Each structure stands twice: as structure tokens, then as C-alpha cells.
Amino acid sequence: MLLRNLPLIAAFLGGALLSPTAFAQDDMAKLCAEAEQRYVKLYGQPSSEAETGPVVKMYKYRFCPAHLTVQVGTTVRWVNVDKRTSHTVYLNETDTSESDRLFPEETFEFTFLAAGEQNYLCGPHWETQKMIGMVTVTP
């Protein structure tokens, strides 16, 4: 179903919703701080110390951080730190298919091999919850 809606998704992602969505910056900062606390509780260390590279936490229908800048060749890990909700990662500008549903504490990794802006979303929650993110990949 997600692939059938690709034109709608592309139009949706091209709009102003990639700026701090309907969530205010302060609300997003608070939410991401909670996501980080949950990550530390689960993994015993801050996400900034992860050996795999940058970590994007999936929490309360948001990606934390929602915008990330990495260099070409960087592997990003998405981690579901919610307690009950599953999420997916769909990188619509790559040749990869949508990830399997990630249940709490499950992860998905992707290595960015091309420079540019890479929009991504959570398949089940992009439309109803505006669960959308972006990775800017620099050379």
C-alpha cells in the first residue's frame, strides 16, 4: 500500500511539513530528551556513544532527531524506544524497501552512499501522526 501512495508521499514530503512540523521546537526538544532517557535506560549509555554511528530514536510518533546531517558512507541506526508501538523506516529516495515493523528495542540500519537530502518516514504513522524525518548527507 505504501508504494501505491508514493506520489502522494512525495508531494507530502515536499511541503512545509519537513520544517518543525506541527510540533513546536520546545515540545520537540522535550520529547527528544525523553526519548534519550528511554534509550539510556534500555542501553546503559547515551545514544551519542553508540559504536554504530548516529542513532535516531523512534518515540511517541516522532523521530529524534527529526533532522540529521551525516557524511557519505555513514551508517545511521534507527531504534524504537517506545514501550508498545511499532514503527517502520521508509527512505523514499533510495532503492531500499520499507523496513519491517520495528517493535520496541528493535533497530534498522542504513548506510548513506550518496550526497543530498534523504527524506524518510514511518509507513504506519506518516500520514496520521506526521512521523517524518530527513537526513542531509554531505560529501
Under a CB-based contact definition with an 8 Å cutoff, are residues 37 and 64 in contact? no
Cis peptide bond upstream of 65, omega within 30: yes
81-127: pLDDT as tens digits: 999 999 999 998 777 889 999 999 999 999 999 999 999 999 999 99
* CATH code that applies to domain 3-138: 2.60.40.420
16-27: pLDDT as tens digits: 344 444 567 789
Residue with cell 546503559: 44
33-78: pLDDT as tens digits: 999 999 999 999 999 999 889 999 999 999 999 999 999 999 999 9
Burial environment of residue 49 by CB neighbours within 10 A (0 to 12, 13 to 18, 19 or more): exposed
Put the strands of the sheet holding 55-59 in their side by side order: 62-64, 55-59, 75-80, 107-111
Q: Which residue intervals of 1-139 are DSSP H helices? A: 6-14, 25-43, 126-129
Q: Which amino acid is at 23?
A: F
Domain boundaries defined on the chain: 3-138
Cα gap 34→31, rounded to integer Å: 5
